[in-house]
């Protein structure tokens, strides 16, 4: 069974940096937004789960989320 992903992960590291980034992150290709922020591995890094529309090219791996990530990090639109 080939299951379609429902989110991408943005791993940014320290909690303070990630919290600042996720408050401004919006996918420019769909209505995707950060839906949760968790630590789920042995490194202690925080992971922001970004829920995208089913047809989003970021979700499907056709385009990168880096431009949206940089915009969120610098708080520019």
Higher pLDDT, residue 2 or 11? 11
What is the reported pLDDT for 72? 83
Interval 5-26: pLDDT, tens: 555 655 556 677 777 777 888 8
- Whole-angstrom CA distances from 7 to 3, 12, 49, 67, 74 are 12, 16, 6, 17, 23
Please give the structure tokens belonging to residue 67: 């431009």
Listed by start position, the domains of the chain span 12-74
- Compute the C-alpha angle 9/11/17, nearest 5°: 130
């Amino acid at each position: 069974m080939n299951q379609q992903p429902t989110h991408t992960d943005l791993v940014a590291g320290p909690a303070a940096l990630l919290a600042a980034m996720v408050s401004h992150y919006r996918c420019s290709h769909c209505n995707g937004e950060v839906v949760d922020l968790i630590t789920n591995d042995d490194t202690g890094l925080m992971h922001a789960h970004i829920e995208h529309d089913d047809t989003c090219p970021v979700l499907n791996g056709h385009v990168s989320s880096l431009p949206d990530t940089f915009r969120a990090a610098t708080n520019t639109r």
